[in-house]
Structure 1
Amino acid sequence: MVDSLRTYLRNILAAATALLVAPAIAPQPAQAESTVRLTAMHWNVGGGWKYQTPGSSDLVVTKIFDTIKGKNPDFVALNEICQSQYAALTKRLQNETNWPQDKGNFVRFQATRNGTTDDGDVCDHKAVGIALLSRQPLGTANRFPLTPNPEYDKDEIRHLLCAPTTTMPVRYCVTHITPKPFGTFGKIQVNEVLRHVEDFEAAGDTVLVGGDFNATPSWPELNVWYDPSVNTPANGDNLGAYREMDDADPYCLGYGEGTTRATTGSPCGTGTKIDMIFFRANRLNGQHAGDSLPLSTCGSALCSDHRIYWGWADLSIG
């Protein structure tokens, strides 16, 4: 009886001692969410890759440079820009502004077509591609080739280019979708982009993706992108989880302003919109808006058949 009591007491003391000396392991708190207003700019320089005389190419670079200085965006997405123009723009932003927080780490470029002797006036036989620029420093880039469309794109390989910022859990992405035939190759590519963006969101990033999607908001191929909350007569049957910077435009609700030189083509009788800046609907924590700027001129000619597109959104991060 005594031995049993002693054994019982020893067990009690051992358990108590273990509790006293064992380190307390508290659950790690989740990173607190905050709301930031992220601003973004997209431009498909379009015919810009043809302007390879020094003066004309300089005008394209100057137009982008001046818009960045004037708008002070967090994120810039560019399509169809020559690598030489990208390099010149980078140098000017480094030397003439304080826009990038880290002047050695704020740009990423992905060639979609490498220059050959058969390319004619394309970037003076040098690479053309997509680029992203960030006011915040950038982490390692992700470069995803999209399904090729050799019949239309020839030797061009479309890509999704993404990079995270190092100062907040935000990732910027840029893409340029093939235009023809959109119902097959275009649809495949927009779905591929969506899968990658959803993976980043699932991992905790707030993602902005800008680019020329070569599709209008009302096309059924983009229903997998647009959130049902966007449904309007101009853009219905949506099944996705994303909002677009200009989808609250009062003149064409759910669609937005035109981003090309076309003055008709939308369900509202306004210009055609094919350039987008998407963000996930459940990240919206406030207001958002977009604006399609007037067509830019380079001397006496249009710089591009696309307008510079600008927007902002109050988004939750963390």
Structure 2
Amino acid sequence: MRRRPGRAGAAAAAILTAAAALVLAVLVRESPEEPSGPSEIRVLHYNLCGAAAVCPWNSGGSGPGTSVERVVKEASSFGPDLVTLNEVCATQYEALLKQLEEVGLRMHGTYASSQDNVPNCGPTGEFGTAVLSRAPIEPEEPDYLRFTRTGDETYTNGGRTVSVRRGLLCAPTLVAGEPLLACTAHTYARAPEQLREIRDRLAEDAVPAGTPVLLAGDLNLQPNEPALGYLYAHPAGDGDRPTGRFLEGDETDRKWFSQGSTGGVVCTGSEPERCRNGEPTAADRKIDYVFADTRHFSGGHSDARVFEESDHAMLTAVFTRRPKG
């Protein structure tokens, strides 16, 4: 027969229960697995330099000292809702999903290859881009729009030359239970019209009605380039008429308004609220971006952090959702 506790026992049990609840609340609040609130979306973007000669420590690998290990470490502390990747081998992508799950950060992903003759990328040679989300991605098949403007780009390796099939990879997913389209691209500097194709694919009438859009990638162009007007919703200066519908994570950071990246716009007059500038992401240039559409997001902030594993900075961005209605 189970004894019922006396008053002292009941009080002690109540204290222990309250303490356990408090500890649980703290752990939940501090855990990187805790999803962001409905008004906040967190994005991590990285060009891994996964197989390039300038990053020999990667060489298609995913072990200690590689960009894959770096993503796992930073994602574990930042707790992103979305991760977008460029210059990643298919083998590295699969390893990353497994390693994230091993540290308790299970994510769903979609991958698209832009070429298949990169020796460091294993037997298939597949090398491309990826989007990861905490929520399922439906459908699971890659939503990959190959650019029609290619700049006649080719890649030669191992005595074999292939056409590079760059494109826009998108993942229909959820954040805080709400639909969202998360996309990434790695565009070619000699084919700036690829940014027009991105604009058209992500135009308000081209995505499901009312669906917020996030776009991150290595665009290989700087903020003052005319082609960035296809994405930015605000002008680079007088006379500029952008046609985009996006705000960028670093465009409201005033410390970069007058001293930002080479190729950034200097904004010093009349105290502007935003500037097509920002922290450099590749040497002294800003060529990596995280965008959110202006209809569904009212603002955000971004940070660029340089790690030795890649020749690009890792971007982390937090955007605020506009209230519905």
TM-score calculated relative to the size of structure 1: 0.72
1:57: Cα distance to partner? 7.4
Deviation at residue 251 of structure 1 after TM alignment: 2.2
Aligned partners of 2:170, 2:61: CA distance in 1, in Å? Answer: 30
Shift of 1:74: 0.8
Deviations 1:45-95 (A, max 9, x none): 125455337576762211111111111111111001011111111111123
Q: CA RMSD in A?
A: 2.6
Question: Shift of residue 39 of structure 1?
Answer: 0.8
Quickly say closer, same or farther: Cα 1:231–1:124, change in 2 above 3 A: same
Instruction: Look up the SS of the partner of 2:317 in the other structure.
Output: strand
- The answer to whether the aligner puts 1:71 opposite 2:78 as a matched pair is yes
Name the CA shift for 1:149/1:53 in 2 (closer, same or farther; >3 Å).
closer
Please say if residues 49 and 81 of structure 1, whose CA atoms lie closer than 8 Å, have aligned partners that are also in contact: no
* Aligned-pair CA distance for 1:281: 1.7
Q: Does 1:186 align with 2:192?
A: yes
Q: 1:157 aligns with which of 157, 165, 171?
A: 165
| Counterpart for residue 244 of structure 1 | 248
In the alignment, which residue of structure 2 is the partner of 1:196? 201
Q: What is the deviation of 1:150?
A: 5.9
Letter in 2 for 1:37: E
Letter in 1 for 2:39: V
Kindly report which structure 2 residues correspond to 1:68-107, keeping only aligned pairs within 5 A, or say none. Answer: 68-97=75-104, 99-100=105-106, 106-107=108-109
Letter in 1 for 2:248: E
Give 1:158 deviation, angstroms.
Answer: 0.4
Contact 2:195 2:230 in 1 (8 A): no
Shift of 1:142: 1.6
State the alpha-carbon separation in 1 of the partners of residues 38 and 60 from structure 2: 45
- SS of 1:112's partner is strand
* Structure 1 residues 63 and 39, CA gap change in structure 2 (3 angstroms): same
Cα offsets for 1:22-58 (capped at 9, x unmatched): xxxxxxxxxxxx9621111111112545533757676
- Deviates most, 87-96 or 57-66: 57-66
Distance 1:162 1:57, change over 3 A: farther
State the Cα distance separating 1:202 from its structure 2 match: 5.8
Q: Is the 8 A contact 1:205 1:317 kept in 2?
A: no
Q: CA deviation at 1:240?
A: 2.7
Change (3 A) 1:202 1:87: closer
> How much has 1:135 moved relative to structure 2?
1.5
Q: SS where residue 210 of structure 2 aligns?
A: coil
Structure-2 residue corresponding to 1:137: 136
Pick one of 275, 280, 284 that aligns with 1:258: 280
Higher relative contact order, chain-length normalized (CA < 8 Å, sep 6+)? 1
Instruction: Provide the residue aligned with 2:185 in structure 1.
Output: 175
2:302 aligned with 1:296: no
Note the 1:104-123 alignment, pairs <5 A.
106-115=108-117, 119-121=118-120, 123=122
Q: 1:280 to 1:63 in 2, by over 3 A?
A: same
**What residue in structure 2 maps to residue 265 of structure 1?**
none
Q: Structure 2: where are the runs of 5+ without partners?
A: 1-36, 156-162, 258-274
Bigger proportion of residues as helix: 1
Deviation at 1:113, TM superposition (A): 0.8
Q: Could you tell me whether the CA contact under 8 Å between 1:213 and 1:275 is conserved in 2?
A: yes
Q: Distance in 2 between matches of 1:208 and 1:304?
A: 23
SS in 2 for 1:214: coil
Going from structure 1 to structure 2, the CA distance change for 1:291 and 1:73 (only over 3 Å counts) comes to: same
Match for residue 311 of structure 1 among 306, 310, 317? 317
Contact 1:148 1:158 in 2 (8 A): no
Change (3 A) 1:124 1:250: farther
Q: Distance in 2 between matches of 1:232 and 1:148?
A: 27
Quote how far apart the aligned CAs of 1:282 are.
Answer: 2.5
User: Which residue among 43, 46, 50 is the counterpart of 2:49?
Assistant: 46
**Aligned residue among 189, 208, 215 for 1:209:** 215
1:36 aligns with 2:39: yes
CA distance in 2 between partners of 1:245 and 1:124 (Å): 37
Counterpart amino acid of residue 134 in structure 2 = R
Task: Tell me, yes or no, if the aligned pair for 1:79 and 1:131 is still in contact at 8 Å.
Answer: yes
Offset from partner CA, 1:174-206 (integer Å, 9 cap, x none) = 111012x2xxx222x111111111145562210
**Aligned mates of 1:317, 1:157 — CA distance in 2:** 38
Residue equivalent to 2:148:
147
Q: 2:62, 2:96 → 1: CA distance?
A: 14
Identity of aligned residues (%): 25
